Every structure is written in structure tokens, then in C-alpha cells.
Amino acid sequence: MNKLCIAGKKMLKKWMIEVQPKNPKHLNKYHLFQKQGFVKPYAAVAQPGTAQILKRSV
């Protein structure tokens, strides 16, 4: 099992730009993090209704 540790918002943004992940779960968590400034561990952001979660958090 591999793990990735990214320190800081600047490095996270750089990683997202360079790697460009395509997994909707991770993209949704990243967008939620950008809007709210945090994401709860094990947040169910890849479940049906994710679009509504993102819209409500704006």
C-alpha cells in the first residue's frame, strides 16, 4: 500500500496541477477543501448527491 503526504496548501495545489488526478472522489474532496478550507476524514463526497453538497457549501 502506498501513501502520499503533501505538506501545505501550496504543495497540494502544485500536485493537483502537475498530476491532474481524474478520480471523482479526490477531485470532489479537493474542490470542497478549496471552498470550505477543510474536509472531514472519511467524508462521503463521492456519493450520489455530491453536486448538491458542493453547491450548499458555497
Each of the 58 residues of the chain gets a pLDDT tens digit; together they read 888 888 988 999 999 999 998 888 888 889 888 988 888 887 776 555 555 555 555 5
> Exposed e or buried b for every residue in 32-50, given b needs 16+ CB within 10 A?
beeeeeebeeeeebeeeeb
pLDDT of 5: 86
pLDDT of res. 46: 56
